[in-house]
């Protein structure tokens, strides 16, 4: 059995505690194709399962130890554990990073949580279900492999990958872990940076407060920058949701010496200590970045300065893990390779990425466009599913300074008739305004690529490969916004171009075979020199346009049957990284 799954790094690095235990590694596992598990009461834990799987890899991946790509929509997991001694006297929280799609979890036969949504986290306080000695955790995951109304991203509803669709993901695909907390503990924090006033607003949410209790609950907030103390504030906690605004000294616009940007990924460290009657009950380590995303006079601004975004489309797939990165180092390497090629950002495509990827983007300096995993077709059930999951995704990732733009919808996926269907138009508008209601600090794209309605950025997908055509098409704003590169209208529903920044957010896609993988792309290169020339021919017309304010090249790596990456599927550069960087620099 491959043991690479026993990842031991803390899964939620922006909100971390010392008292935790990873549950990654080997679990018992069973397919339930006959759907017998409920009637036979597998949740009671009395039945041993016939297979073994390496969590958090799904059975479709090689790293799971199974590598079966057929349809098995219902799967069960079983694991026994004994709590460590330092959990004694605490509440025990069981965390799941993501389970695709419906999850039910039992501890010692007691149902502790159910969750719907394949890309967002959930947890349960399992303290009252625990017993002394050995405990049994059972997880049932149900996916809907052929359901085109399911928020699924790039997961194909047929057995074999094809075209732009890839291998499915069923069950647990992000880390599982236990955490020990006191009854009164910090549930979450929310940062709202303001570089114009040099202030950080910190909202804190403390769980376990009792009405009419005589206990004195206070929260200490310690901020530091590169090891130097910046602020220490202690205040009494009287409600679940508290807010404080802290002035940050030494933060100014001249050198931008403490602002966060891809070029200077400066982070403030934060420590939160909960005290009950003067006794510490919880301690959480966190961080935030001071940065501002805004639109000024039709320009995209980062920290009040126009900023040209050079993004790469990143599907977040791996050869042996599929949607699940094999190691933390693999996620860090993807960020490092992206930066080494001269990109300052990534559009995570049709995937709500592992929080540790966002952590490395925060630490190393890479802008991220946070994108939903869309459904393929429209229905009322899809709307219910998608709206719920997107709200959870925005809430999970709100604090990451790397995230600059939210993309709830892409290329009319989930809304295929948006050009003429008023319901689908209203849904796209709803997702734009819903996202704005959850986060006023970032930009929102309603439908990336074409058939846009209300949107902060005017984004175009254009796989034209001829330099002269691209140069002419993006020589003026009027030509750019009236072009139809995919034979799709760029605006629908009565909306027109309103002076937003124009970006080409999918282009290139040049196929170049440099590995054993067979596949396709939007145009083809025959050798290294040809590939370099073709890259220059599609990237540099956008750099020199004067109209285009950013781009997103398709794509970072080859993925399954697609060989249009700058890197092979196993992350080997097709041409030297410094050559690609020079092209991105307009050289």
- Note whether 124 and 196 are same-domain residues: no
- Note whether 101 and 156 are same-domain residues: yes
Predicted confidence (pLDDT) per residue in 478-501, tens digit: 999 999 999 999 999 999 999 999
Tell me whether residue 204 is in a domain.
yes
Query: Which of 115, 149, 181 is the endpoint of a domain?
Result: 181
- Note whether 92 and 217 are same-domain residues: no
Tell me whether residue 473 is in a domain.
yes
- Note whether 472 and 573 are same-domain residues: yes
pLDDT at residue 87, as a whole number: 93
Query: Which of 288, 309, 331 is the endpoint of a domain?
Result: 288
Residues 6+ apart with CB under 8 A from 437: none
Tell me whether residue 9 is in a domain.
no
Query: Which of 288, 323, 349 is the endpoint of a domain?
Result: 288
- Note whether 200 and 342 are same-domain residues: no
- How many alpha carbons fall within 13 Å on the CB side of residue 17? 23
| DSSP-based three-state secondary structure for 569 | coil
pLDDT at residue 4, as a whole number: 39
- Note whether 167 and 29 are same-domain residues: yes
- How many alpha carbons fall within 13 Å on the CB side of residue 80? 11
Tell me whether residue 33 is in a domain.
yes
Tell me whether residue 444 is in a domain.
yes
- Note whether 171 and 70 are same-domain residues: yes
Q: Average model confidence (pLDDT) for the chain?
A: 95
Lowest mean pLDDT among 42-56, 518-532, 560-574: 518-532
CATH of the domain at 282: 2.60.40.10
Residues 6+ apart with CB under 8 A from 516: none
pLDDT at residue 1, as a whole number: 29
Residue 7 has pLDDT above 70, yes or no: no
The DSSP 8-state label assigned to residue 43 in this structure reads: G
Count Cβ neighbours within 10 Å for each residue of 124-151 and write b for 16 or more, e otherwise: bebbebbeeeebbbbbbbbbbbebbbbb
Domain limits for position 393? 293-584
- Note whether 450 and 575 are same-domain residues: yes
Tell me whether residue 213 is in a domain.
yes
Nearest residue to 383 via CA among 433, 328, 424, 355: 424
Number of domains in the chain: 3
Predicted confidence (pLDDT) per residue in 331-378, tens digit: 999 999 999 999 999 999 999 999 999 999 999 999 999 999 999 999
- Note whether 222 and 366 are same-domain residues: no
Report for 156-170, 174-188, 243-257: range of highest mean pLDDT: 174-188
Residue 161 — pLDDT band, cuts 50, 70, 90? Answer: confident
Report, as an integer, the average pLDDT of 78-103. Answer: 95
- Note whether 176 and 190 are same-domain residues: no
Residue 2 has pLDDT above 60, yes or no: no
Phi–psi pair at 26, nearest 5 degrees: -80, 130
Phi–psi pair at 230, nearest 5 degrees: -115, -40
- Note whether 243 and 342 are same-domain residues: no
CATH of the domain at 24: 2.60.120.260
For residue 246, the cross-strand partners are 200
Residue 465 has pLDDT above 80, yes or no: yes
Nearest residue to 189 via CA among 208, 174, 206: 206
């Amino acid at each position: 059995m491959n043991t690479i799954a026993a990842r031991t790094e803390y899964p939620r690095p922006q909100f971390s505690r010392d008292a935790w235990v990873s549950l990654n590694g080997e679990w018992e596992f069973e397919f339930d194709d006959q759907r017998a598990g409920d009637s036979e009461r597998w949740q009671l834990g009395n039945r041993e399962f016939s297979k073994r799987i390496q969590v958090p890899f799904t059975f479709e991946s090689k790293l799971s130890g199974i590598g079966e790509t057929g349809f098995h929509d219902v799967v069960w997991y079983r694991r026994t554990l004994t709590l460590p001694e330092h959990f004694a006297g605490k509440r025990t929280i069981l965390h799941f990073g993501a389970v695709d799609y419906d999850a039910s979890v039992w501890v010692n036969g007691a149902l502790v949580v159910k969750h719907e949504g394949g890309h967002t986290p959930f947890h349960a306080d399992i303290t009252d279900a625990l017993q002394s000695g050995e405990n049994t955790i059972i997880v049932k995951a149900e996916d809907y492999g052929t359901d085109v109304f399911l928020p699924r991203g790039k997961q194909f509803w047929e057995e074999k990958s094809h075209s732009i669709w890839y291998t499915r993901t069923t069950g647990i695909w992000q880390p599982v872990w236990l955490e020990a907390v006191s009854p009164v503990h910090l549930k979450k924090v929310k940062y709202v940076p303001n570089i114009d006033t040099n202030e950080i607003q910190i909202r804190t949410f403390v769980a376990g407060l009792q009405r009419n209790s005589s206990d004195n609950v206070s929260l200490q907030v310690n901020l530091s920058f590169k090891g130097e103390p910046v602020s220490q504030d202690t205040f009494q906690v009287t409600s679940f949701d508290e807010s404080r605004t802290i002035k940050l000294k030494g933060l100014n616009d001249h050198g931008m010496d403490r602002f966060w940007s891809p070029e200077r990924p400066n982070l403030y460290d934060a420590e939160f200590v909960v005290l009950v009657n003067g006794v510490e009950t919880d301690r959480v380590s966190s961080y935030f970045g001071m940065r501002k995303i805004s639109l000024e006079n039709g320009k995209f601004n980062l920290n009040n300065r126009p900023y040209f975004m050079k993004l790469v489309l990143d599907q977040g797939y791996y050869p042996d893990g599929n949607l699940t990165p094999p190691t933390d180092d693999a996620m860090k390497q993807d960020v490092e390779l992206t930066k080494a090629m001269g990109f300052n950002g990534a559009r995570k495509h049709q995937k709500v990425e592992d929080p540790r990827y966002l952590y490395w983007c925060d630490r190393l300096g890479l802008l991220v466009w946070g994108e939903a995993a869309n459904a393929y077709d429209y229905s009322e059930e899809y709307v219910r599913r998608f709206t719920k999951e997107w709200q959870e995704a925005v809430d999970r990732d709100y604090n990451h300074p790397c995230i600059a733009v939210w993309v709830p919808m892409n290329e009319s996926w989930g809304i295929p008739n948006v050009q003429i269907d008023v319901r689908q138009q209203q849904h796209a508008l709803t997702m734009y305004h819903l996202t704005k209601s959850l986060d006023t600090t970032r930009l929102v794209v309603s439908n990336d690529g074409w058939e846009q309605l209300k949107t902060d950025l005017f984004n175009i997908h254009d796989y034209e490969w001829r330099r002269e055509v691209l140069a002419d098409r993006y020589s003026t704003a009027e030509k750019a916004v009236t072009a139809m590169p995919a034979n799709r209208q760029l605006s629908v529903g009565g909306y027109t171009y309103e002076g937003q920044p124009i970006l080409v957010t999918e282009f290139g896609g040049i196929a170049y075979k440099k590995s054993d993988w067979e596949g396709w792309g939007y145009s083809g290169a025959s050798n290294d020199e040809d590939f370099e020339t073709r890259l220059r021919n599609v990237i540099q017309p956008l750099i020199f346009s004067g109209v285009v304010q950013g781009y997103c090249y398709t794509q970072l790596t080859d993925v399954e049957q697609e060989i249009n990456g700058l890197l092979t599927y196993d992350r080997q550069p097709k041409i030297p990284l410094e050559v690609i960087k020079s092209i991105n620099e307009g050289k």
